[in-house]
Amino acid sequence: MNASHVEIGRGFRRSRRCETANCVEVDTDRIRSGSVYVRDSTAPGVLISFPTDDWSTFITALKTA
């Protein structure tokens, strides 16, 4: 487990900085399928998927912003 994330169960994780139930969670189990799944912790049944290449570009942009 990455020190900056907390495992939620079934592969989902969220930032340790999330101190409320209103967080974005990322499904780390399905990344190998070519997609990254993201959900709102207040509506865990609704998933949004992103191609892994697009997700990587997004994360890189966040880290360099």
* Containing structural domain, residue 59: 5-64
Pairing mode, if any, of strands 5-9 and 43-51? unpaired
DSSP 27-60: ESSSGGGTEEEEEETTEEEEEEEEEHHHHHHHHH
Indicate the pLDDT class of residue 5, thresholds 50, 70 and 90.
very low
Confidence at residue 3, expressed as pLDDT on a 0 to 100 scale = 44
Q: How many domains does the chain have?
A: 1
Owner of token pair 């990455």: 2
Say if residues 22 and 32 touch (Cβ distance below 8 Å): no
Indicate the pLDDT class of residue 2, thresholds 50, 70 and 90.
very low
pLDDT digits (tens, 9 = 90+) for 38-58: 988 888 888 888 998 998 899
Tokens of 24: 């974005």
Q: What is the pTM of this model?
A: 0.69
pLDDT digits (tens, 9 = 90+) for 6-43: 445 567 888 888 877 788 888 877 666 788 889 888 88
